[in-house]
A and B are shown apart, each in its own frame.
Chain A
Amino acid sequence: MRWGYHQAATLRDWTIEKSAGGYALSAQVVNADTFRVSQRPLTFVAPVQGGSWRFPITTLQMTGVSLSATLGPKESV
């Protein structure tokens, strides 16, 4: 998860599901930078072969190590 080019949090075991408002992200937080996570806008960056997928984060909830968020459309490279 990034704020601009800054790493805001590292996530694992993430899943993305299509939802009515876009996409729903669920993940476990490995570590997070409190200040950067509080900034906006945030982007979810998923590494894929040959590069990465980037989604704008529209809403975010973090409870302990659990994270849920809604994502906007995948950004074009």
Chain B
Amino acid sequence: MSSRMRRPETVKLDISRGDWLLVKKYLTAGEQRQIFKHMLSYTNDKERYQSLEYGPSLVAGYLLDWSIEDADGKAVTIRDQPYESVLAAIDMLDTQSFQEIRTAIEAHASAMEQSLVAEKNDPNGEPVSSATSPSRRRSAGGMRTSPISPSTSTIS
């Protein structure tokens, strides 16, 4: 039986100017819901999603630590800080830096999603045939498919 809960792994992402981000490798179902939960606002008892909040919410949902410094060269500490403090720090970034960080995290999320799809197919990289599909007879000189390789990432 396979496990459906993952250990909390991290990945280090390098960005420009020698800076780095430490992010969660995967989000749990609860963490994904938190991202959307922080986009919710309520107006006259109606639930509304603030699409403008998606970017900061996504970044704060993945981000664990970084090397960002303030204008005085002092480290901006976000490690082990509450979500709201991380969000406040993200909001203080200049616009280009925020976009760069958001792009890096979105690329990471996309890569991890693809690796999950590949893993779901088969841990060995071979597509798993459906239980209902008939087995095919091999013919001489038949085409061989190459195995699907999950994307790799640097684990810190």
**A residues touching B (Cβ–Cβ < 8 Å)?**
2-6, 45, 47, 50-52
Chain B interface helix/strand/loop/mixed: loop
Other CB < 8 Å A-B pairs besides A4-B7, A4-B10, 5 of them?
Answer: A3-B8, A5-B24, A45-B80, A51-B77, A52-B80
Contact A5 B64 (CB under 8 A): yes
18 A-B contact pairs sorted by A residue (CB < 8 Å):
A2-B80, A3-B8, A4-B7, A4-B8, A4-B9, A4-B10, A5-B8, A5-B10, A5-B24, A5-B64, A6-B8, A45-B80, A47-B80, A50-B77, A51-B77, A51-B79, A52-B79, A52-B80
**What residues of A have a CB within 8 angstroms of the CB of B24 in the complex?**
5
Q: How many A-B residue pairs have CB under 8 A?
A: 18
Chain A interface helix/strand/loop/mixed: strand
Shortest Cβ distance from A43 into B: residue: B80
Give the complex CA separation of A70 and B77 in angstroms: 27
**What residues of B have a CB within 8 angstroms of the CB of A51 in the complex?**
77, 79
Per-residue contact bits, chain B 73-92, to A (CB 8 Å; 1 contact, 0 not): 00001011000000000000
**What residues of B have a CB within 8 angstroms of the CB of A45 in the complex?**
80
Q: For the complex of A and B, list the 10 residue pairs with the smallest distance between their C-beta atoms, beginning with the closest.
A: A4-B8, A5-B64, A5-B8, A52-B80, A6-B8, A45-B80, A51-B77, A3-B8, A4-B7, A5-B24
